[in-house]
Amino acid sequence: MPHPPRPPRSQWHHAVSTRPRSPVGRSVPHNQFARLAERLFEDAGLPELTHEYEVTVAGHRYRIDLAYPDLKIAIELDGRGHETLFDEDPIRTNRLETAGWLVLRFTWRRLIEDPAGMAADVLLARRLRFGVHHPHAM
């Protein structure tokens, strides 16, 4: 199935391209999708994420795109070309979830069409992990 055409450049593209470099000791997301998602979450007031977090589950080593390791929240970004991993993703997700991780999956289309919904999903996940009224849920 062919991919839909890429959406026009959005404010997120401009924001990332004009953004200053990260402070020393802080990793930079490995691709444009991750950089845009990170910027979206920062703009929404969410705490800093860990990029490409490595975790071993049931003897298998995985790299999570963006994570809150202390809360075991994994954010997976399913960009273009991701359909080749279609058969592997459910196995990976099941292993992470049975190890206590909450896995949130987002697509490029969702980033462009519903960025506020993405941020709301991450906020809800943090609230579920911390408790709704905990001061660090945001």
Please indicate, yes or no, if residue 10 is contained in any of the structural domains: no
Tokens at 106, concatenated? 């987002």
Cα–Cα distance between 108 and 47 in angstroms, integer? 21
| Average pLDDT for 24-43 | 77
Please indicate, yes or no, if residue 109 is contained in any of the structural domains: yes
Q: How many Å from the N-terminal Cα to the C-terminal Cα in the chain?
A: 39
Domains contained in the chain, number? 1
Quote the pLDDT of residue 100.
96
Enclosing domain of residue 64? 29-130
Cα–Cα distance between 129 and 111 in angstroms, integer? 23
- Entry pTM: 0.73
Please indicate, yes or no, if residue 72 is contained in any of the structural domains: yes
Axis-axis angle for helices 115-130, 32-43 (nearest 10): 70
Please indicate, yes or no, if residue 36 is contained in any of the structural domains: yes
Task: Lowest mean pLDDT of 14-23, 96-105, 123-132, name the range.
Answer: 14-23
Whether the CA torsion 13, 74, 109, 47 is positive or negative: it is negative
Please indicate, yes or no, if residue 23 is contained in any of the structural domains: no
Q: Where is pLDDT greater, at 125 or 31?
A: 125
pLDDT digits (tens, 9 = 90+) for 82-125: 444 556 778 899 999 999 999 999 999 999 999 999 999 999 99
Query: What CATH number does residue 87 fall under?
Result: 3.40.960.10
Q: How confident is the model at residue 81 (pLDDT cuts 50, 70, 90)?
A: low
